Chain A
Amino acid sequence: MVYMTGAEAFIKSLEKEKVDIIFGLSGGAILPICDAFNDSDIRFVLARHEQGAAHMADGYARASGRIGVCLATSGPGATNLVTGIATANIDSSPVVAFTGQVPRDMIGRDAFQEVDIIGVSASITKYNIQVRRPKEIPRAVKAAFHISNTGRKGSVLVDIPKDVQTLSEELDFPEKVSFKGYRFFEEPDPRELDWAATLLARAQKPMIMAGGGVIASNASSELLKLAEFMMAPVATTLMGKGAIPSDHPLYAGGCGMHGTCEANSLIGEADVLLVVGARFSDRTTGSIQEFSTNSKIIHIDIDRSEIDKNVETVTRVVGDAKLALNGILKRLEKVRRTGSPESPWLKRMKEFREQYAMSESKDNPHFKAPSVVKTLRKFLPRNAIVTTEVGQCQMWAALYFDTYAPRTFLTSGGLGTMGWGFPAAIGAKAARPDVTVVDIAGDGSFGMTENSLATSVEEDLPVIVLILNNRMLGMVAQWQRLFYGRRYIAAKLGKTPDFVKLAEAYGAVGFQPGNTVELEKAIKEAVDSEVTTVIDVPIDPEENVFPMVPPGRGLKDFLVEA
C-alpha cells in the first residue's frame, strides 16, 4: 500500500502498463493529471483538437500493435474524442481514452463543462467506467488496458472526476484484474477446426477472404502458408489489406464495393470460402443475398457474436485467427496434397486477371489519381506506412497502392471517418519513427483535421500528406454523377485553401507539382528531408473510382466505367 494522489496513481498505472507516449489536450477537469506528467518520462504529444488526439492514438495502435492512449478534459474535450474512439472501436483497434470529469459533488448538476461521457460513449466503446475514488484508479487503468487489447480489440474510456485526481488515499496496484463477465475465446475448439478442414479438403475452388482480424492477430504468415498449401486465391477486405503482399501471385486484390474485378468475380465462383477475421460489412459483401452464392462459407472470428450476424455460414471457428489458421493447416496437411499452381481454378484466376487488367490512362491534361498513387509507391521505401483519408482517395489507395506487409496500410474502414488519415499518420510515425509515413488524402478530408499540422511540426513527427485534390468531396460527387443525374449539391469545395501556403503557415513544406517529373521530385524530396510535407496534386474533378459495385447490388455486378 502507498499513499498518493489519484493523479500520481494514474501516472504510475500508465507506467506499469509500459506506456511511453500519450496524445491529448489539457483542460480544467484534467489539470491535476496533466500536472503529474511533469514528473514522468511519458511523452505527452499535444494535439490541437481532441479528435486528432484520438486518431493519433488509433494510428499508433494500428501501426505498432500496442495500445494507443489519448486524454482529454471533460465536456467538449470528451465529446470531441467521440468520433475518434468510435472509429477505433468499429475497426477493433486497441485505444484507451481518459477523460477528466467535473468533481463528484458537481456531477448531475449541469456544472461547467460537464457532459455524461459515460452515457455518450456507451455504444461506441468496448467498455467504459467512471472511477469514484483514487484507489479505484489502478484497477480501472489495468482493466482498461486488459479489455482493450484482448479478445476482439476495441476502445475503452475511463472517466476521472477532478477531485478524485487531487485526493490522496492508501492504494495499491493490482498485477491482474478479472471480471466475472469478461471472457474471450482464443483457443479454437478442435472439433470446429476438424469441420473446417474437412470442408477445405474437398474444395476444388477454395478461396480465402482475409479481414482485419488477420492483421490484429499477427497471422499473416499463417495465412500465407495455408493459401500456398491449398493454392487458394486470397482477397482482402479493406481492413485486411496488407495481410498478404500485393505482389504475391495468389493475391486477387481487395473485395467489396471498390474491390478488384478479379477478387469479386472469384468470390462469386468459389466453392468454399474461408473468411478470416472479417465481419461481412455491407461494403464488403454487396447484396447479402447474392454474396458468394456458390460457396460453403467457413467463418473464423474471435468474436462469437459475429458468427451468422450478417451472413449465414456453414461452419465456424471461434478463436484467434493465428491459432485457427495454424490448426486448419495442420489438419489439411494430413489429408490433402499441396494444391497445384496449374489447377483449373488458378487458371480461372489468371483469366480474370487478364480480362480485367486495368489499363493505364495518360495523365493529360490532369493527373490521373491511379497513376499518382502508383508514382508515390515507386518512390517510397518498401516498408513505408500509408494511412488514408476517406472517400475516393481511400479507394484509389486501396486499389492502386501496393502494400507488402501488415500494419503498413491503415485506413478507417467501418466508420469511414474523413480526417482520420492525417492524425493517424502522426500516431503511426510516433510508433515507427524510422519509417516513412504518408497520408493519401483528399482535399475534403484533409480539411477536417489539417490543424494537426501544428502537432506534426511542433512535436517533430514528420509525415507526408499527398492530397489528390479535385476541389470536390469526390465520392459524394461521384455518387451524384452516377445516381443523382449530376445534380451537384454540397460537393464543390471551391478554390481555397492554398494548401502550399497552408503548409508553410504551419512551418511545414508545401509542393504543388504541375507534371509527373515535378511530382516525383516532390515525393523524393519529402521522403529524404524527413520534414512534414504537403504535396497538393491537382486531379480531374470528374474522375470516378472504378471498379464499383452499385449500392444494393451483388459483387459480380461491378461497373468498370460510367
Chain B
Amino acid sequence: MEMPISTIAFLVENKPGVLFNVTNLFRRRGFNIESITVGPLENPELARMTVSVKADAKIINQIVEQLDKMVDVIKVKRLDPIRTVMREMVLIKLNTIDPMSREEALRCVNEYHGLILNIEPDSIVVEVTGEPSTIDEFIRKVQPLGVIELSRTGVTALEKGHLKL
C-alpha cells in the first residue's frame, strides 16, 4: 500500500546547526524526507520548517515526538490536511525550438496560472505554484514538450482559520 504523505510544521531557533540537527534526526531514525522547507519568521530569532514525509501514523507520531524532544525545536505539529493550505513552487525550463511545442507550452502555463519569467529564442523559464499534486500534474503535462531542467521548492503550509502553531 502506498503510504500517505504527511506534513509536519515546526518552529525552531534560527541559528547555525539547527537544520543539520533536524535532518540528522531524520537520517538517524530512518525517516525519509520527501521535502523540507525553511524560512525565518517576522521574529528573526525563529524559523519555521515544513517537512513532508511518507510514513504510517505510528512513524509520524514518533517523528513528532522526537522533534518535540529536540532542544532547538520550539513547537511541532502534524498538520491536518483538511484544515491546511499547502503550496509548492516549481521553476521549469522548457525547450521551445519547435514553434508547435512553444505554443503548447504557453497553453499549459496559462492553464496552470503560471508565470513566464524568461524567454529566449529556444527556451522559456516558467513558474508554477500549487498543491504538490498540481505541480506533479503540470510536470507530467509538459514532459513531452522537452524539459531542460526543473527545480521544486518543496511544500510549505499554513493551517486555515485561527489555528496556528
Report yes or no: A122 in contact with B21, Cβ–Cβ below 8 A: yes
Instruction: Judge whether B89 is part of the interface by a CB distance below 8 angstroms.
Output: no
In residues 102-128 of chain B, which contact A (Cβ within 8 Å)? none
User: How long is the Cα–Cα vector from A147 to B72 in the complex, in angstroms?
Assistant: 12
A324: shortest Cβ distance to chain B, in Å? 18
Instruction: Judge whether B17 is part of the interface by a CB distance below 8 angstroms.
Output: yes
B64: shortest Cβ distance to chain A, in Å? 9
Which of A302-310, A360-368, A435-443 interfaces with chain B?
A302-310
Closest residue on chain A to residue B12 by CB atoms:
A181
B66: shortest Cβ distance to chain A, in Å? 5
Report yes or no: B20 in contact with A147, Cβ–Cβ below 8 A: no
Instruction: Judge whether A176 is part of the interface by a CB distance below 8 angstroms.
Output: no
A92: shortest Cβ distance to chain B, in Å? 13
In the bound complex, residues from chain B placing their C-beta under 8 Å from that of A308 are 58, 61
Instruction: Judge whether B36 is part of the interface by a CB distance below 8 angstroms.
Output: no
With A119-B20, A308-B58 known, 19 other A-B pairs at CB within 8 A are A122-B20, A122-B24, A123-B28, A127-B71, A147-B71, A180-B74, A181-B12, A181-B70, A181-B73, A181-B75, A182-B71, A304-B65, A304-B69, A305-B65, A305-B66, A305-B69, A307-B65, A308-B61, A309-B62
In the bound complex, residues from chain A placing their C-beta under 8 Å from that of B61 are 308
Closest residue on chain A to residue B13 by CB atoms:
A181
User: How long is the Cα–Cα vector from A219 to B17 in the complex, in angstroms?
Assistant: 37
User: How long is the Cα–Cα vector from A119 to B27 in the complex, in angstroms?
Assistant: 13
User: How long is the Cα–Cα vector from A127 to B24 in the complex, in angstroms?
Assistant: 13
User: How long is the Cα–Cα vector from A122 to B18 in the complex, in angstroms?
Assistant: 11
User: How long is the Cα–Cα vector from A182 to B73 in the complex, in angstroms?
Assistant: 8
- Residue of A118, A181, A309 near B17 (CB, 8 A) is A118
Instruction: Judge whether B88 is part of the interface by a CB distance below 8 angstroms.
Output: no
In residues 128-161 of chain B, which contact A (Cβ within 8 Å)? none
| Residues of chain B at the chain A interface (Cβ within 8 Å) | 12-13, 17, 20-21, 24-25, 28, 58, 61-62, 65-66, 68-75
How large, as a class, is the contact surface on chain A?
10 to 19
In the bound complex, residues from chain B placing their C-beta under 8 Å from that of A180 are 13, 74
Report yes or no: A305 in contact with B24, Cβ–Cβ below 8 A: no
Given contacts A122-B24, A181-B13, A181-B73, contact A304 B68 (CB under 8 A): yes
In the bound complex, residues from chain A placing their C-beta under 8 Å from that of B28 are 123
In the bound complex, residues from chain B placing their C-beta under 8 Å from that of A182 are 71
B141: shortest Cβ distance to chain A, in Å? 42
User: Can you list 16 contacts pairing A with B, beta carbon distance less than 8 Å?
Assistant: A119-B20, A123-B24, A123-B25, A126-B71, A180-B74, A181-B13, A181-B72, A181-B73, A181-B74, A181-B75, A303-B69, A305-B65, A305-B66, A305-B68, A305-B69, A307-B65
User: How long is the Cα–Cα vector from A72 to B71 in the complex, in angstroms?
Assistant: 24
B72: shortest Cβ distance to chain A, in Å? 6
Report yes or no: A305 in contact with B71, Cβ–Cβ below 8 A: no
Give a binary string over A144-188; 1 marks a CB under 8 Å from any B CB, 0 the rest. Answer: 000100000000000000000000000000000001111100000
A301: shortest Cβ distance to chain B, in Å? 11
In the bound complex, residues from chain A placing their C-beta under 8 Å from that of B24 are 122-123
User: How long is the Cα–Cα vector from A479 to B25 in the complex, in angstroms?
Assistant: 33
In the bound complex, residues from chain A placing their C-beta under 8 Å from that of B13 are 180-181
- Residue of A127, A147, A305 near B62 (CB, 8 A) is A305
Closest residue on chain B to residue A123 by CB atoms:
B28
User: How long is the Cα–Cα vector from A180 to B13 in the complex, in angstroms?
Assistant: 8
Closest residue on chain B to residue A147 by CB atoms:
B71
In the bound complex, residues from chain B placing their C-beta under 8 Å from that of A303 are 69
